[in-house]
């Protein structure tokens, strides 16, 4: 978690100003851009952490580090791979607003995750015991929380709010399976066995800790006595300024084409779309705005590139008649013709192509050819229709990879008319669809940003989007 560089005499927490968003400094990079083979399980972007909620400032589950620290970590990964091991990160850069969020948690009633993360500790004692810092080294960009992976690791479980809580000091096979080797405890375990040199762990876990610590030390990472997972790279002591820019999707920072759709509010069925192209650090409009329609019940936060659990507004579910709000990649184009004027990958629709909306199927939220597969679904949508709605369309990567019940088969497609809503897609005039087909280029990493106007205005600066 955290190690303070100094124990502050003051009990004041740093509470960042939300009036103006801080920009990501040039020396801060996405770990995936440097070392894509390092696995990521960014816990504070989810509710599976000691607070029980996603922390403020974690707009996306991404690891960011200073460029030099990221390169050093990549060298650790290379060395471990040669031995048959690897790294998985739980946390990297942490905005100061997230540190303040941790502090707020200690002041409010309730212990939603005590059974798993701190069964024998009172949360008011986190600071005194050294498990949480009032000023975090994570906010300086060179501190990382991680673990060791390897061939004998149990497969990672998929966490849901319904998951049973198990004491983080329980035996390896009983506690939460994070996809890592036995390290003696789980991550964020506020207890004595989590101390780096604890004698309360078995020989296997002790050997795994030593292997991780040794590999990290060879590249200049220093551990912390209270937490076996916590390391700070000390290669550039000049980088000691705490930061508060939000963690946003890597794809958004590298996209050169955006389609931005806004509606008046969460329940409005009509919206406006505008294409944008990146020029340097800013986006500029491309072409004229055009009308679209969305779900018959409006919009709801969807499963895309951003964290949705901490936001105000509805959450999308299967069959709710809502189009997804958020940031989404664009997948394959499809249509009735054998070929199309588009640079996107293109799927000609035959009478046997279906989109599976049965959330119990292994093909849930996929376009499949039902004639070539053994069917394990009871519900799907036939894509070759008797009308023109799917004459041209584009798969919107909402809920990819699919989580059961979170919504499926979301497309751009041709509308029935400017006042006729969809069942959850975003539809438009055929001429506007043709222009999207010709304009979109997968090499430009195009994205869809779809939000009600008030949410767009609130998030625009934090996400680095253009003014509408």
Cβ within 8 Å of residue 164, ≥6 positions away: none
Q: What angle do CA 147, 152, 156 make, to 5 degrees?
A: 60
Q: What angle do CA 98, 72, 186 make, to 5 degrees?
A: 50
- Count the Cβ atoms, other than its own, within 10 Å of residue 466: 15
Sheet holding 380-382, edge to edge: 367-369, 353-356, 380-382
Cβ within 8 Å of residue 215, ≥6 positions away: 76, 79, 80, 85
Taking only Cα atoms into account, the Rg of the chain, rounded to an integer number of angstroms, comes to 24
Which residue spans within 294-360 are E strands per DSSP? 299-301, 323-335, 346-348, 353-356
User: Known catalytic residue: 227?
Assistant: yes
Burial 284-305 (b: 16+ CB within 10 A, else e): eeeeeebebbbbbbbbbbbbbb
- The residue assigned the tokens 């990549």 is 74
Q: Of residues 227, 251, 318, 354, which has the active-site annotation?
A: 227
Q: What angle do CA 326, 331, 333 make, to 5 degrees?
A: 125
Rounded Cα gap, residues 429 and 340, in angstroms:
17
- CB-side exposure of 187: number of CA atoms within 13 Å? 24
Q: Is the dihedral of CA 254, 261, 310, 405 positive or negative?
A: negative
Cis omega (within 30 of 0) for bond into 401:
yes
* Bridge pairing between strands 323-335 and 346-348: parallel
Rounded Cα gap, residues 35 and 74, in angstroms:
5
Strand partners, 286: 275
H helices of 376-417, in order, are: none
Rounded Cα gap, residues 157 and 146, in angstroms:
17
DSSP 106-157: TTSS--TTHHHH-TTS-GGGTTTTTSS-SS-GGGGT-EEEEEEE-TTSPPPP
Catalytic residues: 227
């Amino acid at each position: 978690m955290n190690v303070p560089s100094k124990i502050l005499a003051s009990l004041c927490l740093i509470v960042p100003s939300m009036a103006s968003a801080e920009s990501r400094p040039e020396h801060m990079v996405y770990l995936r851009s440097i070392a894509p083979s390092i696995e990521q399980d960014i816990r504070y972007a989810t509710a599976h952490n000691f607070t029980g909620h996603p922390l403020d400032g974690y707009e996306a589950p991404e690891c960011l580090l200073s460029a030099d620290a990221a390169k050093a970590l990549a060298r650790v990964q290379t060395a471990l791979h040669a031995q048959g091991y690897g790294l998985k990160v739980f946390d990297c850069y942490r905005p100061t607003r997230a540190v303040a969020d941790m502090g707020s948690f200690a002041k409010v009633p309730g212990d939603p995750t005590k059974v798993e993360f701190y069964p024998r500790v009172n949360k008011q004692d986190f600071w005194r015991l050294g498990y949480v810092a009032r000023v975090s080294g994570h906010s300086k960009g060179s501190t990382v929380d991680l673990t060791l992976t390897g061939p004998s690791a149990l497969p990672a479980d998929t966490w849901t709010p319904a998951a049973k809580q198990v004491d983080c000091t329980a035996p390896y096979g009983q506690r939460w399976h994070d996809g890592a080797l036995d390290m003696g405890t789980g991550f964020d375990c506020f207890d004595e066995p989590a101390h780096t040199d604890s004698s309360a762990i078995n020989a296997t876990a002790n050997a795994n800790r030593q292997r991780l610590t040794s590999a990290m030390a060879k590249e200049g990472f220093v551990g912390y006595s209270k937490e076996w997972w916590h390391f700070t790279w000390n290669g550039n002591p000049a980088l000691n300024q705490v930061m508060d820019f939000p963690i946003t999707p890597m794809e958004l920072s590298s996209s050169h084409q955006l389609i931005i759709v806004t509606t008046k509010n969460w329940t409005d069925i009509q919206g406006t779309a505008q294409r944008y192209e990146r020029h340097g650090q800013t986006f500029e409009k491309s072409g004229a705005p055009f009308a679209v329609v969305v779900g018959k019940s409006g919009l709801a936060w969807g499963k895309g590139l951003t964290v949705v659990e901490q936001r105000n507004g509805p959450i999308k579910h299967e069959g709710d008649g809502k189009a997804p709000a958020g940031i989404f990649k664009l997948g394959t184009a499809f249509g009735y013709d054998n070929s199309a004027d588009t640079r996107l990958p293109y799927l000609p629709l035959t009478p046997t192509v279906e989109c599976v909306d049965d959330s119990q199927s292994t093909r849930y939220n996929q376009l499949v050819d039902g004639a070539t597969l053994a069917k394990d679904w009871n519900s799907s949508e036939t894509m070759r229709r008797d009308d023109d709605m799917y004459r041209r369309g584009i798969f919107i990567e909402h809920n990819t990879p699919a989580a059961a019940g979170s919504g499926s088969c979301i497309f751009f497609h041709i509308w029935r008319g400017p006042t006729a809503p969809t069942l959850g897609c975003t539809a438009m005039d055929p001429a506007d669809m043709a222009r999207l087909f010709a304009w979109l280029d997968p090499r430009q990493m195009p994205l869809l940003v779809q939000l009600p106007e008030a949410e767009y205005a609130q998030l625009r600066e934090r996400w680095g989007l253009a003014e509408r």
